[in-house]
Structure formats: C-alpha cells, structure tokens
C-alpha cells in the first residue's frame, strides 16, 4: 500500500517534469527548512533561559520524586523554570543546580537553608549559611542523597532552575506544592541568625 502511494507520487513528479512545469520540490524543501530553522535559536534560548524539562534520576528525592524507584525504571519528568531561578528562593523549594562535587552533573534537591540561617546537619553539628549561599538536601536521607551534608552550602550561582510542576507520570501530574512539604522539619533544621544592631 505504501509502495503504491510512493510510486504514484513519483509518477506524478515525473509527469510534472515532462510537462515542463516547474519542479518546486527543492524550493518547497528550502522554504520549510528556513521556516523551521528560524525557530531553532528561539527554542534554544527558551531551553537555556526560560523553561526546560528535567528528568529526575535516582532515589535522592525519594519519596517526593520517583516514589517507585526500587520497583521500576520510570523517572519523574518535571518543568523547571529558569527565568530568575536564583532570586526569591524560599525554604522548601526544589531546585536544580550544577553539582559542586561534579560540575558536569545536574542535581535536584530541596532548599533547607538560606543565607544567614544556622543549619543543624544530619550529624548534629551546626553550620552557618554564608551570604549568597544556600543549604540543599535530598528527601531520601543520608543513605540515598549526596547533598550539602557532604559538600557544604552551595552558591546561589549554581542554581539553574526551580521545579514547579510534575509532568510525568500523568497520574501524579500537577503543581509541585513545595510550601506544604514537611515545613515543620525544614523550619526546625534552619533557624535565622539573630541580628543585633
């Protein structure tokens, strides 16, 4: 069936050429390439600076992301907003950033502490988060996550995006409600430094 259609198209093309009608296949192809090619820089700009998809790999954010990581190879897919991603960060937000221990790797973690906070680490010691730095941790705990407990606070400049929506799997699709996720434990771990004038 498909060969018959292809043969009919070729016969039609041959008859157009033989009837001295202009053969416009090359011009049509060039026009389509230019039309679609003009969108490539726009798409590249949007992916780099506005929004992109993020695949959540591994168990470090379990059970919030990849709740079935030990049963299936399925990965959560999220929308990452990159526009002004380093500004207005709040406790509990989920961010993607360049991993300080491996600059070629993108990590996804929860913001536990902001600049000026005093953080109680998983080992029980206290760390002061310096200016323009944040403290990030995975929801999976020490056994599943490599985070600020291992490499310390990270610079805000490493943040690439804020995760705002789960897009896949479809049964879990929707807005990421980071502000509702265990706020009590986040605020117990991060305390603001008192300011004396």
Q: Which of 60, 80, 107, 145 is catalytic?
A: 60
**Is 176 strand, coil or helix?**
coil
CB atoms inside a 10 Å sphere around CB 111: 24
Alpha carbon distance 111, 97 (integer Å): 11
User: Is residue 60 annotated as part of the catalytic site, yes or no?
Assistant: yes
Q: Which of 80, 109, 145, 148 is catalytic?
A: 109
Alpha carbon distance 56, 96 (integer Å): 10
Quick check: 108 and 176 in contact, CB under 8 A? no
Q: What angle do CA 181, 135, 161 make, to 5 degrees?
A: 70
Quick check: 182 and 158 in contact, CB under 8 A? no
Alpha carbon distance 96, 10 (integer Å): 51
Q: Beta 174-175 vs 190-192: how paired, if at all?
A: unpaired
Q: Residue 92: which residues within 8 A CB-CB, separation 6 or more? A: 110, 111, 178, 179, 181, 182, 183, 186
* Active site residue ranges: 60, 109
């Amino acid at each position: 069936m498909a060969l018959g259609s292809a043969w009919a198209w070729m016969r039609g093309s041959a008859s157009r050429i033989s009837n001295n009608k202009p053969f416009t296949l090359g011009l049509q192809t060039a026009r389509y390439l230019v039309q679609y090619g003009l969108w490539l820089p726009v798409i590249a700009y949007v992916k780099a600076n506005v929004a992109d998809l993020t695949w959540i790999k591994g168990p470090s954010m379990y059970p919030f992301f990849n709740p079935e990581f030990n049963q299936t190879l399925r990965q959560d897919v999220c929308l990452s907003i990159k526009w002004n991603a380093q500004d207005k960060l709040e406790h509990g937000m989920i961010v993607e950033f360049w991993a300080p221990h491996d600059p070629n790797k993108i990590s996804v973690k929860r913001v536990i502490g902001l600049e000026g906070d005093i953080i109680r680490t998983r080992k029980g010691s206290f760390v002061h988060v310096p200016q323009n730095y944040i403290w990030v941790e995975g929801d999976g705990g020490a056994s599943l996550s490599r985070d600020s407990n291992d490499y310390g606070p990270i610079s805000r400049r490493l943040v690439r995006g804020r995760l705002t929506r789960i897009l896949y799997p479809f049964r879990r699709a929707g807005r990421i409600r980071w502000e509702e996720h265990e706020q009590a434990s986040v605020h117990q771990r991060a305390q603001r430094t008192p300011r004396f004038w």
